[in-house]
Structure 1
Amino acid sequence: MSDTAKQPNFLFLFPDQWRWDWLGCSGYDIPVKTPNLDKLAANGMRFTQCRTNSPVCAPARAALATAMRYHHCGVPNNGHNLDTSRDTYFKHLRDAGYRVAASGKTDLQKHGIWKGLDGWTTAMGQLGFTQAVNQAGKHDAVNAGTQKPVDPYMAFLHEHQLAQVHADDYKRRGQILSSDRQGNDMKIDPTPSPFSSEHHTDDFCGRAAMDYLKQWAVGEPWHLWVNFPGPHEPYDPTVAQLAEYDGVRFADPVNPGPVANDHQAIRRAYAAMITGIDDWVGRLIDQIQKRGEMDNTYIIFASDHGEMLGDHGRWNKAVAYEPSVHVPLIVSGPGIKPGKQCDALVELIDIAATITDLASLAVPESWDARSLRRLLLEDATAAHRDIQLSGLMNWAMIYDGQYKYIRTDNQADELYDLHADEIECNNLATHLPQIAEQLHERLTQELAR
């Protein structure tokens, strides 16, 4: 596009490990406070059926970046980096003249930990970014030790003589640094962070994003990807954030495990982290308003995967249950009618095609992602996908809008009717073998493409 002033901007808010139902506007009876995201949904469209292509950080983010499903994205787990030669939607934006910036935990180059003390490495440029303050994940930064920082956040803590405080806090939590990455039941410590907002990791990410919005010239097109490390565990909100939930009671986990945990304290801490990030959502949007760019900016909110929060005796993610694979998605911006809800089956990777399409760039036919443009700007009831896929290592999942089928190596197949059994407690694989076989065949076909 020759007239760059007409190219829209994109604020892509992408926190880590945020369940789809933990929003004030989700329609679920969960007393979590998200006033700014609720306002964003009221001004735009909330998607009720978005699922991640893989419920672990690095594969989910690689799939999003490449606009390819899990089995095509080239990152099977957190032990692999995204090959910098791969096509990414970031490269398409950069080549069209966009500033392409990131703050926070991108996890596109997770393996190896080193992120650069200023958050910039050659790999980030090769992936399509023009600027970045790329943080290591919560565990990665601390696991690297306190002698030599490996990312800008730990470097920041070193400057303030707080790196050891941070490491000691994680060590005290015990289970965090040696937690079961498959999310099995474990003892959880939900006590607040020793840091105030001045030194908390989510605030560090938010400030880096804010700095970009304050520094950039108005009128030059930009894409800002804000990757808050929270509400990923450890459940460590600030003391002030946690105080907002004094006396608030949440529903207990579905089918909890045998380990004795204070589920109310854990859920209050998770909610407090969410509210802290929501506050940053409001601040960043306010800054866009100050720039006079609201009429030309699309704001997207989503997450890489969910959080089990003790449901089915599990924590973290990495499984095919809804709390792990079902993610929030809100989009607001020019041409999107306010207060809309879309129930179409949407995959996380579709965000990549959507941003590319809304930027008036060609969406490559080779991508697995499909643009949401028609749903957003024309008809929220239009056909989009008839199935969704997700997977990780030894399992793959297909969902057709009612039935979810899960195939796991060396284990019995699972089939759930999410219309009748949203909490996935009744495996129907042996009761409805015809449906299970149909979905098995479709899954096999899709994975062979």
Structure 2
Amino acid sequence: MSQYKNKRPNLVYIFPDEFRAQSMGFRGEDPVITPNLDTFATESLVFQNAYSNSPLCSPYRGILFTGKYPHENGVINNCHSGRPDCYLRSDARCFSDILSENGYQCGYIGKWHLDFPREADYPFVDSRREDGFVWDAYTPPGKCRHGFSFWYSYGCCDRHFTPHYWKNDSIIEARLDIKQWSPVHETDAAVDYIKNISQEKPFALFLAHNPPHMPFDEVPEEYLKLYEGKSARELLTRPNAEMTEAARENVKRYFAAISGLDIQLKRVLDALEEKGVLDNTIVIYTSDHGEMMGSHGRMYKGCCYDEAFKVPLLIRYPKKITPRTTDMLISTIDLMPTMLDLMGLGDCIPKNIAGISVGDSILENRDGDIRQVLYTLTDNRCGFADKYYTFAMERSNEREPYEIFLFDHLKDPFQMHNIAMEKPELTKECRRQLILMLEKYGNPLAQKLRWMRQTDRFLFIADSL
């Protein structure tokens, strides 16, 4: 265990749910109002190409904390009562466990979504959804919280105006029900945590806001007023956006929630400055996945399109990181080892994880060597992105054939032209590369893809690989 001597940096990791990379004002893409993020970007290392390996809430969190892919860490899909085998194992060695073992005070605020509810918990967790499953869960104190000594969290409850929490060692019956927009309340808790934390040891605080995740209509009027008079057509400016009913109805609300989150970021930074620890704190702003919001006629996430696959990633650490924008490709799997490196704990990176640290590249102000990022979401969605292409194989269920996607980043930045049929040799090579990547990480899907018989219009890539 490390002996802390007031040298190691603190960490504040902020990751609102379903915040797409394109919805940050400084990027000049979506017409969203984010003045504090814009300023934060000028002080940070900004990744233009940060990806969520599994653009879905629970799988992202599993990857983030374990540095392992879903087939290894057990969080292969979203956690709820219908998937009793899908949860973060208590014996998993997580990022927060390592920090705690090395003298960090660890705090978690907001959405956890890494446990499934037990039947005995049902009276005290959020009610069943329309799909018949219970998504909320109580995480009991102990090993399931993976080193977090401060806990102000819940499982999965999308009630932005009426959130609930369990604090520290409180029993399940002691649920706290709040009537306040959840990001404001959670930021209150974060500010209080920072204000009162001991400086005898470093701290690591994870702040997991639920908005801009749906329901999109649960956003305060004060943030909606920022977009007053703006039509959906004025807000849905991406060339691939379609004026679907859902997108027209919700885009203003989605952007308003992001503007509300922008204000909460400043409150956290102000608290760090008032505490006198801002410049010795690594502040990371990112998300678990994006939101389609009408692009390609779709909503939500869980697909290979950039609006869902790409996420914000900004790292502020003025003591050691030069503010700049980088085109380096990075993904969720690499965040745990990279953060440990940045925090001076590179020797503590587990040997059995799939993630690779790019800490040296960041500190040396150069682009790293990672050139491919894997996309994997159950057996029905997989692929990868590299500097030039996004390749993916997706299907709705195991009885359906895969649909093949291949997009050229340089010629087609909005992914409007699928060239898989036009480039059979390139498609075949991409499929070969995908199988090799899956095999490298021990994903059993590799064997299925290697030998499965292609059908219908995808026979052109059925040659033996």
Report if TM-score (shorter chain) is over 0.5.
yes
More moved, 246-255 vs 384-393: 246-255
Of 385, 388, 397 in structure 2, the residue corresponding to residue 402 of structure 1 is 388
Aligned to 1:318, the other structure's residue is in SS state coil
The 1:119/1:100 distance shift into structure 2, 3 A limit, reads: farther
Q: Do the aligned partners of 1:43 and 1:337 also contact (CA within 8 Å) in 2? A: no
Matches within 5 A, 1:1-400: 1-28=2-29, 30-79=30-79, 80-111=86-117, 121-122=140-141, 126-139=145-158, 151-152=165-166, 199-235=180-216, 236-248=218-230, 249-252=234-237, 254-255=239-240, 259-261=244-246, 263=248, 265-361=249-345, 362=347, 363-381=349-367, 383-393=368-378, 394-400=380-386
What is the TM-score normalised by the length of structure 1?
0.83
- Paired with 2:224 and 2:254, the residues of 1 have a C-alpha distance of 9
- Paired with 1:119 and 1:234, the residues of 2 have a C-alpha distance of 22
Q: Do the aligned partners of 1:104 and 1:134 also contact (CA within 8 Å) in 2? A: yes
Q: Do the aligned partners of 1:253 and 1:310 also contact (CA within 8 Å) in 2? A: no
- Paired with 1:31 and 1:159, the residues of 2 have a C-alpha distance of 35
Q: Do the aligned partners of 2:384 and 2:392 also contact (CA within 8 Å) in 1? A: yes
CA apart distance, 1:259: 4.9
- Paired with 1:234 and 1:124, the residues of 2 have a C-alpha distance of 32
The 1:3/1:85 distance shift into structure 2, 3 A limit, reads: closer
In structure 1, what residue type is equivalent to 2:95? Y
Q: Do the aligned partners of 1:407 and 1:413 also contact (CA within 8 Å) in 2? A: yes
Q: Can you list the C-alpha shifts for 1:90-124, whole angstroms capped at 9, x where unaligned?
A: 11000001011110002222555969899762256
More moved, 233-242 vs 222-231: 233-242
- Paired with 2:176 and 2:106, the residues of 1 have a C-alpha distance of 28
Aligned to 2:374, the other structure's residue is in SS state strand
Aligned to 2:41, the other structure's residue is in SS state helix
Aligned to 1:344, the other structure's residue is in SS state strand
The 1:339/1:141 distance shift into structure 2, 3 A limit, reads: closer
More moved, 387-396 vs 251-260: 251-260
In structure 1, what residue type is equivalent to 2:151? A
* Matched-pair identity in %: 27
For the aligned residue pairs, the C-alpha RMSD in angstroms reads 2.8
The 1:209/1:444 distance shift into structure 2, 3 A limit, reads: same
CA apart distance, 1:254: 5.0
Which residue in the other structure is 1:428 paired with? 419
- Paired with 2:200 and 2:262, the residues of 1 have a C-alpha distance of 27
Unaligned runs of 5+ in 1: 163-198
CA apart distance, 1:250: 1.1
- Paired with 1:261 and 1:400, the residues of 2 have a C-alpha distance of 31
Q: Do the aligned partners of 2:280 and 2:319 also contact (CA within 8 Å) in 1? A: no
Aligned to 1:317, the other structure's residue is in SS state coil
CA apart distance, 1:152: 4.2
- Paired with 2:66 and 2:403, the residues of 1 have a C-alpha distance of 32
Q: Can you list the C-alpha shifts for 1:40-88, whole angstroms capped at 9, x where unaligned?
A: 2111210000100101100011011101134433211013211111111
In structure 2, what residue type is equivalent to 1:243? K
Which residue in the other structure is 1:185 paired with? none
Q: Can you list the C-alpha shifts for 1:269-326, whole angstroms capped at 9, x where unaligned?
A: 1111111111111011111111111221100011000001011121111111111110
CA apart distance, 1:252: 4.5
Equivalenced residue count is 404
Unaligned runs of 5+ in 2: 80-85, 126-136, 396-400, 441-465
The 1:238/1:335 distance shift into structure 2, 3 A limit, reads: same
In structure 1, what residue type is equivalent to 2:18? Q
In structure 2, what residue type is equivalent to 1:237? V
